[in-house]
Structure formats: structure tokens, C-alpha cells
Amino acid sequence: MSASLQIFLCIALLILAAKLCGAAMARIGLPLVLGELLAGVLLGPTFINIWRFQWFSVSGPARVSVVAVFKVLADIGVVLLMFLAGLETDVDMMRSAVAPAFWAATGGVILPMVGGAVLAHAAGYSWQHAIFIGTILTATSVTITAQTLMNLKQLQSKAGSTILGAAVIDDVLGLIVLSVVIALAPSFAHSGAASWRGLAVTLGRMVLCLALLGFVGPPFVRWVFRRAERLHGSHTEVSAALVIAFLFAFQAEWFGGMAAITGSYLAGLFVAGTPAHRCVLDDIQPMINSFFGPLFFVSIGLEVDILQLSGHVEFFVALLLVAIVGKIIGCGLGSRFTGFSWRESLIVGVGMIPRGEVGLITASLGFAAGVVTRDVYVQVVVVVLLSTLITPGLLCFAFPRSSLAGEVLSSGAMELQRLDTAVDKMADA
Amino acid sequence: MSASLQIFLCIALLILAAKLCGAAMARIGLPLVLGELLAGVLLGPTFINIWRFQWFSVSGPARVSVVAVFKVLADIGVVLLMFLAGLETDVDMMRSAVAPAFWAATGGVILPMVGGAVLAHAAGYSWQHAIFIGTILTATSVTITAQTLMNLKQLQSKAGSTILGAAVIDDVLGLIVLSVVIALAPSFAHSGAASWRGLAVTLGRMVLCLALLGFVGPPFVRWVFRRAERLHGSHTEVSAALVIAFLFAFQAEWFGGMAAITGSYLAGLFVAGTPAHRCVLDDIQPMINSFFGPLFFVSIGLEVDILQLSGHVEFFVALLLVAIVGKIIGCGLGSRFTGFSWRESLIVGVGMIPRGEVGLITASLGFAAGVVTRDVYVQVVVVVLLSTLITPGLLCFAFPRSSLAGEVLSSGAMELQRLDTAVDKMADA
């Protein structure tokens, strides 16, 4: 079987599994992403282990491994997902809720990072590895937080919009920390603290690249879209957006030595400021939600071998506690500092627990670069899964009863209406 | 540089080149697809030869060749393009104009096929190779024909709708011929006419597969979409459509021994008959037009080395003449047979000249399977390019002056309005 034929089968199976598991999770009120991750875990080495099937073994004259090609597809997916995250960032809201969101985010980055690093170092990892493990614990996912808040009908509350703003700032902070850590990683790994010159060059390139992207980026993107919309052809705006996303991603990693996703996230932010914003968003969402997104989330799950958790249970439990308590205390204190009540601060802290795309991407980058070993990688991915899993329940506890009564009623009413529609459809058929 | 990073750069460059060349062609009234093909030719071995750059050389621990990965991306593109072609097929129009369209299509398949095969055999190719070369010359492109007719504002004329219907039937006939030829190819190649048993098994599998797809396919697709629309999640319909397209493509090639595109074309046809048709079409078009389509068309152009035409000029010119004259006479006689005037028949014949996606896909399948040598491949791709290039001009000659006067005026008015809008925009800026 040719590599292409193998990939056709692989795409069909993985998208099917992702969407079915996603729907199953959504049905019981949990985020879709969690289901797509679990689909990967199910198909991965712990249970089914699809790559062992003869259908996916290397064959044909080209001798291209379907696993390698699939990894590239997943990497294209990451770039597009982070581009979408940038595109969906509400820059205005970010500005208005900036003070409480900023302090909540900062607290929620520092505490898990320091806690994770200290814990990992105490467990015997080198400082470089320990700091990277801490970094993975910093990033809250906008997607998962927003979905949880929507489930609870609290998206527009004071705590809700602070959580959303903080999640965005958190993503940006997380990316900056990640970029610095990755940029510094080679100097750390190969020459220790001795090569100050190498470190300066690395940092200089990163700053230059960020400055270039930050100052030249926005006018460049606006210029491209002014040209693109006058260009003959179909969907030229989306094409322009894709070209910019991949070019920025390439440039961030190749020239700046940062993560490629930093580039595509910035590309998304800049495109969000152009008039083509709406059109690009509408056209690019189906592509990501139906194809590249599921493939990426399944690919993360596929890397996880839960059996490897055994023998590291104490470290794993400690890591999970740092991830949860670090966010609750860090974000909570941050919002309390700007005048929130204790309960509101608790809500913000709990709402910031779920890790998501950025954490997973960070972990997989570290794994690919060899900064994170396979067993730490597995533990971190399971921590991300669990942090997502517990948040909806914890948030229900954190919100005052009264504000949730309406939610429970309205969700009950929705469920009734859903059943009603289903019965109607069955009657029609 | 990792394979993923190379692919990011490759995607950005190729989409950019495709869209710019497409827009340039559209500006002078030629089909976009032609520009995307030419972009590939420009970047290919004849001129720039991008794969020779050090940026795209194999590196990294995974040792995945960026060229191999890019080929898989292009193959995913073909499956999606043919799925889209199926999805856009107007089954009702196909039924109403069925008689003239059927005869025009049949004439236009038989003449170029027989002419091409006889010519190739006379030039010294084996009958197997000769028949395949004939097969490549059969398929008219719906896309290019429709675009040319729209340019000429003749899409709704009697000749226009016959051309469109015939182009669809032509695609189906071409796919059937292609499937038969590919299904028979291994028996031909390895064991000659001796293995009648192998031939019977091959044909049996193909018929079984087509019967399975044809009878079980439509109710299966309807069942899937009834389920998908009730599934929790975003863009579940598009995901369902993608799963079906790739599953059918896999099934057609793996079980039926046919071309994978036959499967995805049928998947598109069946999805077109479901209520989700519009939604899938809207969501899948941006993905194909902005990403997979350009990558596929550029990949075709990238294979072409025009320098290899030298030394085969007579054969090439003869092939081109067969491709053009075969369609004009074949389709023309077919429509004359159902009562069209000579001029109308000429218009139908000329309108059917442009080869397109299916021809290119057929050629690249034959090339990959070793049924077509590289120099024949190059000649055929150039024939496809030229057939597309000359059609708009020939059609202008074929249509009576009076019916085109309005077109020229209205296109002039449109151009004026475009300039006007551009000036307004510049004034705003």
C-alpha cells in the first residue's frame, strides 16, 4: 500500500474516532477537546495501538513512514490552531479587563512554574528539565475555559470576563516563557553557563525577531490583505492568511530560534486587526475544526502510554497537585489583589485550572527537542487531561448556589427541548 | 531543519506562487487553474527547481523527505478536489440535458482515446502504454469549461448547458475508462493475456466494489449525516463528509483496485444528495481553494521538465492535434447527431477541448504506477496546459459575433467598475 493510501485510511479513522469521542464528552457536559485527546489515548499504545497494524507498516518504493507523515500533518495542525487562537483573541476585551486579568494571569504563571520546577528538581531532574516541566504547567487554555464558562452560562460575569482576559494574557506569557526557555535550551544543553556569547547571540536573535514581527508585522499584514482582496481568484484572503501564518511560523523558529507557534499566534493576532478578520475566521474554522484540529489532538493522545505512569505515581500526584493548587492560589491571589471578593477570586482561580492546547504543544515541543523524557511527557499529558476533566465539577462548587440555579433550570429546559426535537425528527422519518 | 519546518516554508511559498500566478492568468481572462499549473512549472526543474535548495534537503533524525511528504499532501488534495467535483455535480441538470450531452460526451471520449492510442502505438509504444495515453486525452474538465463559459456569459445557452452536462458525463466516462485501465494494468504488465483468471478476479472485485458503493453507498451516506447532524460538536457534518470521502477513496483503491479518486468522486455525488449538501460545500470549498487545491496543481507543474520535450517534438505536436481535433469532431458529431446546427455543434466541440484535473490526475496516477514514462508524462501535461490555454480564444471565434457583442460590452463595463472601486479605495486610504 502506498503512503498516500495509508494516510487516507489513517485520516478517516482518526477523524471518526476524534469526533465520536468528542461528541460523547460533550454529551456529558465536558469539553470536546478532552474527547479528542481520549480518542488518541484509546488508539494509542496503552490500548489499541493502531500503528502496529500491518496496514500502517512502511511499504512501497518511496518508503515513507505513515507515522512520520502523520506527525507532519499534526504539526501543520498546531500552526493552524495557534493561528486561530490569535485570530480569536479579543484585543479590545483584553485591554478593558487588563488590570485584574494581568495580575491573575501573572500569579497563575509564576506559582505553577516555580512550584513545578522546584518539585521536579527535588525529584532529581536537572534545573533545565525542571524549568521546562514548570513551563508546561503555566499555560491555561482559552478554548477549554471558555467552553466551561459557556456550559455554566457565566461567560459574561465579572469573574467570567476576567478569566477570559487572564487566559489570553496567560497564553501570551506562557508563549514568551516558552520561547525564552527554548531559545536558551541549546546553550544550556551543550555548553553550560560558560558560553555567554552564544547565549547573547541567541537572545539577540530572539529579540530582533520579535521586534521585527512586532513592528513590521502589522503593517505588512495589512498591506498583504489590501493586495489580496483585489486579487483575482477564489478565497484569496484565506490563502493570504495561510501564507502569513506559515511564513511567520517558519521565521519564528528558523530565524528567532523560538517556537514556530509563537509566529503563527502573532500572525493570527495581526490578521485579527484587519478588515478581512471575519472572512478569514469563517473560512478557516471548518478546516481546523473538521480536519487539522482533530488530527492534532488525537496525535497527542497517541503518544501517551498510561502504563508508563506506574513507578512514578508519587511524582505524578505531586505534579497534579502543583498544577491545580498553583493556579487556584496564584490566580486567586492575583485577582484578590485587584479588589475581588474571596469567592470571586476562588472562581477565577478554579476557572484557570484547565490546561490545554498550549500546554500540550509545549510538552510535545520539549519531547521532540529531547528536553522532556517520555515518562515526564506522559505524566504531563495526563495532568493536562485531568486538569480539564475536573474543572467543570470544581466550578459548579465554586459558584454560589443562587447563580447556578438558573443555569441548572435552563440546561434542564434545553435538554427537554433537545429531546423534543429528536422526537419530532423521528416522527418525520 | 525538521521536516515540519521545511513543509511550513514549502506550503507558504507554493500557495503564494499559485495564487499570484492564478490571479495573473485570471486578469487576462484565462482560468485560474492554468496559473497555478504554470506556477508549478516556473518553480519546477525547467526554471527555478526549488527542491535543489539546501532548505529542502533531507535532514533531522526522522529523515523524512520534504518532497515525499509534499506528495502525500498533494494526494490528499486530489481526493478532496474530486470529492468537491462530485459535490458540485448538478444531478438534475445532468438528467434533463442527458441525450445531447451523452452523445457529445461519448463521441468526445471515443475519438481522442482511439486517436491517442493509435498515434502512440504508431510511435512505438506498447498497446498498454498507448491505451493509457489515449485515456489521458479523454477527460474534459468541468471547472475549466464552466469558467470559460462564464467568462463568455454563455453558461445558460443551449450549447452551454450541453457542454456542462457533457463535461460531467465525460468525467464519469473518463473515470470508468480509467478504472478499467488501471484495474487491468497489473494483469497486462505482469502476465500478459495468459492470466485470464487474474483478469476475471480483478474485474470481479471492481464490479463488486462499484456495486457495493453504488447500492450501499447512498443510504449509508444518508444514515451517516442523520447521525452527524445530531452529534455534539463543531463542524460535524464536514468531518463526516471528510471521513466518507477518505474511506470511499481507500475502499475504491484497496478493495476495488480502481483509482482512489473514483471513490471520493462517488462520495461527493452521494453527499450532494443529502440535506447537508450546502453546508458541506460552503465549509469545504475554502479549505480546497485556499490550501489543498493550489498545492495539488503546483505539484503537477513541479513534475514538468519542459526541456525533456526536445527530441519528441513531432509526437508532441501530433498528440496535441489529436487532443484538440478529436474533441472538436467527436463532441461536434455527437451533438449534430441529436439535432444541433453545425455552428452549435462546433461550439460544443470547442468548449469540450480543455482538459483539466481528471486528465492531470490520470497522468500522475499512470506516472506513479509506471504505465507512463516521464517524457510522455511531461508531454501530456503540456498538452493539458495548452488545451486550456487555447480554448477561450477558439470559443470567441466559434460563437456568432452578435451573441458576443453584449459580452464584450458588459466585460468592459465590469472592468470600468473595478477600476472605479479601486480608485475609491485608494481615496479612502
What is the per-residue pLDDT across B254-309, written as a single tens digit (0 to 9) for each? 888 777 877 888 899 899 889 999 999 999 999 998 999 899 889 878 877 778 77
**% of chain B exceeding 70 in pLDDT:** 79
Task: Show residues of chain A in contact with B238, CB under 8 Å.
Answer: 286, 289-291
Inter-chain residue contact A9 with B246, CB threshold 8 Å: yes
Residue B292 buriedness (CB in 10 A; 0-12 / 13-18 / 19+): buried
Q: How far, CA to CA in Å, does B293 sit from each of A377, B77, B80, B289? A: 36, 6, 8, 5
Chain A CB within 8 Å of residue B427 CB: no
Inter-chain residue contact B8 with A76, CB threshold 8 Å: yes
A295: Cβ contacts below 8 Å, ≥ 6 apart? A11, A14, A15, A18, A70, A73, A74, A77
The confidence score (pLDDT) of residue B284 equals 93
Q: Which DSSP string do the residues of A159-187 spell out, in sequence order?
A: HHHHHHHHHHHHHHHHHHHHHHHHHHHHH
Chain A CB within 8 Å of residue B71 CB: yes
* pLDDT above 70 (res B414): no
Pick from A323-337, B172-186, B382-396 the range whose average pLDDT is largest: A323-337
Strand partners, A106: none
Q: How far, CA to CA in Å, does B380 sit from each of B144, B352, B365? A: 17, 17, 13
Inter-chain residue contact B260 with A8, CB threshold 8 Å: yes
Name the minimum distance, in Å, from the CA of A276 to any CA of chain B.
14
Task: Show residues of chain A in contact with B8, CB under 8 Å.
Answer: 76, 79, 246-247, 249-250, 260
Interface probe, candidates A8, A227, A367, chain B, greatest B C-beta count within 10 A: A8
Contact B21, B35 (CB under 8 A): yes
**% of chain B exceeding 90 in pLDDT:** 26
Inter-chain residue contact B69 with A72, CB threshold 8 Å: yes
Question: How confident is the model over B390-418, as a mean pLDDT?
Answer: 58
Question: How confident is the model over B186-203, as a mean pLDDT?
Answer: 57
Residue ranges of chain A with per-residue pLDDT less than 50: 187-188, 190-194, 405-416, 419, 429
3-state secondary structure chain B: CCHHHHHHHHHHHHHHHHHHHHHHHHHCCCCHHHHHHHHHHHHCCCCCCHHHCHHHCCCCCCCCCHHHHHHHHHHHHHHHHHHHHHHHCCHHHHHHCHHHHHHHHHHHHHHHHHHHHHHHHHCCCCHHHHHHHHHHCCCECHHHHHHHHHHCCCCCCHHHHHHHHHHHHHHHHHHHHHHHHHHHHHHHHHHHHHCHHHHHHHHHHHHHHHHHHHHHHHHHHHHHHHHHHHCCCCCHHHHHHHHHHHHHHHHHHHCCCCCHHHHHHHHHHHHHCCCCHHHHHHHHHHHHHHHHHHHHHHHHHHCCCHHHHCCCHHHHHHHHHHHHHHHHHHHHHHHHHCCCCHHHHHHHHHHCCCECHHHHHHHHHHHHHCCCCHHHHHHHHHHHHHHHHHHHHHHHHHCCHHHHHHHHHHHHHHHHHHHHHHHHHHHHC
Question: How confident is the model over B14-39, as a mean pLDDT?
Answer: 86
The confidence score (pLDDT) of residue B196 equals 63
Chain A CB within 8 Å of residue B370 CB: no
* pLDDT above 60 (res B164): yes
**Which residue in chain A is spatially nearest to B425 when comparing CA positions?**
A226
Rounded to 5 degrees, φ, ψ at B125 are: -80, 155
The confidence score (pLDDT) of residue B178 equals 74
* pLDDT above 80 (res B243): yes
Name the minimum distance, in Å, from the CA of B33 to any CA of chain A.
10
Single-letter amino acid code for the residue at B377: Y
Q: Positive or negative, the Cα torsion across B87, B89, B90, B92?
A: negative
Question: How confident is the model over B363-377, as a mean pLDDT?
Answer: 81
Interface of A with B in 248-307 (CB under 8 A): 249-250, 253-254, 260, 283-287, 289-291, 294
Chain B CB within 8 Å of residue A7 CB: yes
* pLDDT above 50 (res B86): yes
Q: How far, CA to CA in Å, does A291 sit from each of A33, A167, A225, B241? A: 13, 25, 25, 11
Residue A288 is classified by DSSP as I
Q: At A310, is the secondary structure helix, strand, or coil?
A: coil
Strand partners, A355: A140
Residue A141 is classified by DSSP as P
Q: Range with the lowest mean pLDDT among A151-160, A369-378, B92-101, B378-387?
A: A151-160
Name the minimum distance, in Å, from the CA of B71 to any CA of chain A.
8
Task: Show residues of chain B in contact with A76, CB under 8 Å.
Answer: 4, 7-8, 11
pLDDT classification of B412: cutoffs 50, 70, 90:
very low
Of residues A79 and B395, more confidently modeled: A79
Q: Which of A273, A275, A268 is nearest to A226 (CA)?
A: A275
ipTM score assigned to the predicted complex: 0.78
Q: What are the grid coordinates assigned to B100, written together?
A: 445531447
A369: Cβ contacts below 8 Å, ≥ 6 apart? A182, A185
Between chain A and chain B, the number of residue pairs with CB atoms below 8 A apart is 189
- The 10s digit of each residue's pLDDT in B310-325 is 778 888 999 999 999 9
Chain B CB within 8 Å of residue A65 CB: yes
**Which residue in chain A is spatially nearest to B249 when comparing CA positions?**
A8
Chain A CB within 8 Å of residue B121 CB: no
Q: How far, CA to CA in Å, does A75 sit from each of A296, B7, B424? A: 7, 9, 42
Chain B CB within 8 Å of residue A428 CB: no
The confidence score (pLDDT) of residue B415 equals 47
- The 10s digit of each residue's pLDDT in B205-235 is 878 888 888 899 999 999 999 999 888 888 8
